[in-house]
Amino acid sequence: MLIVGINGSPDRSGSTAFLIEEILKHCVSLGAQTQIIQVMDALREQERPYCIACATPCPEKCHQIESLANAYDLLRKCDALVVGSPVYFGTLSAPLKAFWDKSRNLRGEKALVNKPAGAVAVGAARFGGQETTVRAIQDILLVHGMRIVGDGSERGGAGHQGVCATRPANEDSFAIERARIMAQGLYEASRERESRG
């Protein structure tokens, strides 16, 4: 089982990355393999940092660049995803939005349909837009046909929409605990999907 984390923060080692790594670390302890996509690295060599919907269907011009192509290939192979973003004006970061905007071909391929996915958001204040950011990420995942996993699990009990933290996330003990429970939920959902064949 391969569970992939997507860090939508420009900071490769900040609070968002920390929470994603907490989730992935717990997935490893459950028996999964994990990898992380740094969105800033995936978009690094793009001529345009955003999608202009240059043609329909997507001609995949952006995907000629190896860094983005490799990231999308990893999404095709994975069994589950966790996507994280810092809060920017109540929603997800521009690089993370661009990463998904450029993924129209994956949607056409139905590459992510029914894969379990969770969302993580980190804000500067206790009520700093984390839930609206989680919901914005979930909207993207739903457009790809993915199965949303919140921060609940069979073993950990019911949760909420996703993991919401206040920075610095490494000092937010509640968010760290919810991240571990989300890991269980992603693992359980992946095993269930695998058993259905």
Instruction: Specify the pTM.
Output: 0.94
Gap between the Cα atoms of 128 and 104, Å rounded: 30
Q: What is the pLDDT of residue 37?
A: 98
CB 107 within 8 A of CB 144: yes
The answer as to whether 119 is a domain residue is yes
Domain tally for the chain?
Answer: 1
Quote the domain boundaries for residue 20.
8-177
The answer as to whether 189 is a domain residue is no
Gap between the Cα atoms of 186 and 193, Å rounded: 10
DSSP secondary-structure letter at 96? H
The answer as to whether 2 is a domain residue is no
The answer as to whether 187 is a domain residue is no
Q: What is the pLDDT of residue 174?
A: 94
Gap between the Cα atoms of 36 and 14, Å rounded: 14
Gap between the Cα atoms of 194 and 197, Å rounded: 5
Gap between the Cα atoms of 39 and 17, Å rounded: 11
Q: Please, which residues have CB within 8 angstroms of residue 119's CB and are 6 or more apart in sequence?
A: 82, 83, 84, 133, 134, 137, 138, 141, 148, 161, 162, 163
Q: What is the pLDDT of residue 115?
A: 97
The answer as to whether 195 is a domain residue is no
Please report, in tens digits, the pLDDT of each residue of the chain (197 residues total).
999 999 999 999 999 999 999 999 999 999 999 999 999 999 998 888 887 787 888 777 777 778 999 999 999 999 999 999 999 999 999 999 999 999 998 999 999 999 999 999 999 998 999 999 999 999 999 999 999 999 988 888 888 899 999 999 999 999 999 999 999 999 999 999 888 86
